[in-house]
Amino acid sequence: MTKPISLQLYSVREQMKQDVEGTLKALGEMGFVGLEPAGLPEGYSAAQLRKILNDLGMVVSAHQGGTPVGDDEQRLCDEAEALGTKHIVCPWYDPKLFASMDGIRQVADVMNQAVDNCAKRGMTFGYHNHDFELQIVDGKPALLHLSELTGGKMFNTVDTYWVQVGGQNAVEIIKTLGPCANLLHIKDGPLVKGEPMTAVGKGKMDFPPIVAAAEAAEWLVVELDACATDMMQAVKDSIDYLSNAKLGQKRL
């Protein structure tokens, strides 16, 4: 099954600081059908951003804005609603808590609250991993403990690159998470923490089996944290790679 391709806007944060609407237009022309905000661009409301994207023929695939608990609950759910997405993603949580079962249980308690808060608004909540959630705790990766402790109610934005950097196999993690592997972050590079990433298809990641394993994933989301080459060219090269006949994904 083909999957639509989105871009995590953190990738082009420097370009967005200079020209929000010009950057978004350029991404649409590359063929991205979705975008995933990392917060909101300075000076733009969620409704304004949605209108710009709709006018360009794009949608918001998910809102990676934070964890909708406490004081952030209403703000994040309101933003997601205004953006026209039902998916809210926590981009990061305290790494120290993933080193023990007690810490993972603390994280799960917060994530379960977020799941329930989103459900009240007809939304779903997910967690985006880095490498530290893949450390082994009591015999298996901390991320899998977290998935079990949230009872399958929390989806995962599986950052496939960070899974590999964390010492695990992205295909196996995706298969184990099953229907909870709802979004994939796709990035590429040397698989060495701290070194710049590359355009998708130009690094050491092997994406055909990863994409094939991700039966439950609604979107493939390109995300390059940093890149040694021009970022706009890198994201264009990335969607060109993901759109080729071998992977069979969907673009404009």
Give residue 2's pLDDT band: very low, low, confident or very high (50, 70, 90).
confident
Please write the tens of the pLDDT for every residue from 120-166.
999 999 999 999 999 999 999 999 999 999 999 999 999 999 999 99
Q: What is the pLDDT of residue 246?
A: 57
Q: Which CATH class is domain 5-242?
A: alpha beta
Task: Give the global pTM.
Answer: 0.94
Q: Are 200 and 188 in contact (CB under 8 A)?
A: yes
Alpha-carbon distances, residue 243 vs 85, 174, 192, 205, 216 (angstroms):
24, 21, 26, 16, 19
Question: Which residue from 199, 197, 213, 204 is spatially nearest to 243, judged by alpha carbons?
Answer: 199
Rounded Cα gap, residues 223 and 6, in angstroms:
9
Task: Render pLDDT for 217-244 as a digit per residue (tens, 0 to 9).
Answer: 999 999 999 998 999 999 999 999 999 7
Category of 189 on φ-ψ map: left (φ > 0), alpha (ψ -120 to 50) or beta: left
User: What does the angle CA 110 – CA 95 – CA 177 come to, to the nearest 5 degrees?
Assistant: 65
User: What per-residue confidence (pLDDT) applies to 100?
Assistant: 98
Question: Considering just the CA atoms, what is the radius of gyration of the chain in Å?
Answer: 17
CA 243 from centre of chain: 18
Which sequence spans correspond to the domains of the chain?
5-242
What is the sign, positive or negative, of the torsion defined by CA atoms of 230, 233, 238, 241? negative
> Above 70 in pLDDT, residue 21?
yes
pLDDT digits (tens, 9 = 90+) for 95-115: 999 999 999 999 999 999 999
